[in-house]
Amino acid sequence: MFKDIGKSILDCILSRIEMFILNRNKKEIKYIEQNKTEELKNKYINHQMSLFQERDNVLIKPKNDIVIKKGILERYAMYSRKDVHDVFAAESNFKAGCGIWGLHGIIRIPNTKDYIFFVTYDTKRGEHKFIEGIDENGIFSWQSQPRQNFKSPDIINFINHDEKINNIYLFKRNSIKESKYMYLGKLKYIEHDLNKENPVWFKWQILDWKNKDYTIESVNTDFNVIEYNLKQFDGIFSIDDIKREYNRISNEQIDELINNEKINGLLECGKKEYIFFDKLNITDKTIEELKKFINNIFERTGKKYLGYKVLYANISLLDEELFKSLKIENKPELLYSIIKYKFNNIYVYTDEFFGKENVPSINEILYDNLKNKKLITFGMVNDVYNELTLSNLSKNDFNEFINEIIDGYYVLDEEKTIISKDEFEISDENFVDVKIILNSLFENKNKLDLNTFKGYMLFPKIKYAWNRYLLKAVIDKYFNNVYRIEEEVIIKKEGAN
């Protein structure tokens, strides 16, 4: 009797799911009814229902009740960033939402060559959107940070990663709204795209993968009845227009569709706005005039690369007829898209610059302009950035620039003023005074937490104002045989005097 009642309840639930699928997928069902058979319609509904049932059977149940033990992780358990910090670096301080452990997506575990990847699907950094996922074979497609290229130390380590010697631990969450990440296991390097950097694109194998343990993020089938066609849009259209036209299309599908259509002349003409080149009705003569204009700038200035915003300003000021013929008013991004489409094989491109040879990244260009400076401030970097791009530098971009070159510099203050390590110095008299003060501070303890330390007025007056950054710089240069620095904590070395 109870078995019959259970079956009736299940049939009722499945019937409701079928109605939900019919309502949710009206466009797909209508297309099938118009172009296919009733059998195909039933097949489609059955396939969709199987996905509901499959996810109930396959989805692993997150393990929320875990005990944090140093160096030990439980597969498929849910961890906060603090939990992961406590597993690998409990001796250092953790502050939510800032610092390496509270914010970064790539973390090198202290005193090792092991790494942690914190991955959040559908996130953006500036204008870059990360496209990442796992297939049924446990192949994890992943992108580095946008500032990283083939010369970045971490990227070199990743390309040479040997899973038998070092570990990369993968933690994943589906949305920024989720506070915890699921631990999916360790990674093995498979390959990276030799033609893509800033960011670099990788493929990793999740070790000991069993696809029955995990629901695949993107379910791909051979059963595809909807053909997405962007050519139907007249003039400029947006991402929202695509979503309105195809209400079941995912963000991943939109990204893939747009990338695939670029070879057919799909141009970006603003933030999330697009138009096909042939809809602009630009003549071959206009394209030839644009080519001549660009060549003249390279010849006149002797530069090896050119910023597209600077080019846009030059055309608007120097050639009004060309400017009008290109139909780029208030759309510098459209100009750049036209150049990349029509002169694809002539120039090398980055986000901001193009040239006939390898074009350095924006951070490399900034550093090349500032490398002879003893001190580098936000204002100095912004001035160079503004000259190159005709726009102001954001704090995030400035921090990325500092992080990329920091190995040769010390940070001096909260504003991230930096100074070359070779140029940084204090007098012999100041050295003696600082040594005495440090000895007194560590007389009865072996740690100094800079998050709570307020005694900077004790230190002798020098040409820079004392703060935690300056103190870390002084200790690293002059007292590294006695103390070591772990994030915001200064620790006296065992046996040191």
Between β-strands 168-173 and 115-120, what pairing exists: parallel, antiparallel or unpaired? parallel
Measured between alpha carbons, how far is 28 from 226 in angstroms, rounded to an integer?
7
Spatial CB neighbours of 424, under 8 Å, sequence gap ≥ 6: 410, 473, 477
Predicted TM-score (pTM) of this structure: 0.49
Helices (H), 66-170: 81-89, 99-103, 153-159
Write the CA distances from 133 to 36, 184, 213, 216, integer angstroms. 33, 12, 16, 9
Per-residue pLDDT of the chain (497 residues; tens, 9 = 90+): 444 544 454 455 445 545 544 454 454 455 445 544 555 545 544 544 444 333 333 344 455 556 667 778 888 888 999 999 999 988 888 887 777 898 888 999 988 889 999 998 766 555 555 667 788 788 888 888 888 888 888 899 999 999 999 999 999 988 777 888 999 999 999 998 888 888 888 999 999 887 544 444 433 323 333 457 888 898 999 999 998 888 767 777 788 788 888 888 999 998 889 999 999 999 999 999 999 999 999 999 888 889 999 999 999 999 999 999 999 999 999 999 999 999 988 999 988 899 988 888 888 889 999 999 999 999 999 999 998 887 888 998 999 899 889 889 999 999 999 999 999 999 999 999 999 999 999 998 999 999 999 999 999 999 999 999 999 999 999 999 999 999 899 999 987 77
**Contact indicator for 155, 206 with CB cutoff of 8 Å:** no
Q: Tell me which DSSP letter residue 232 carries.
A: G
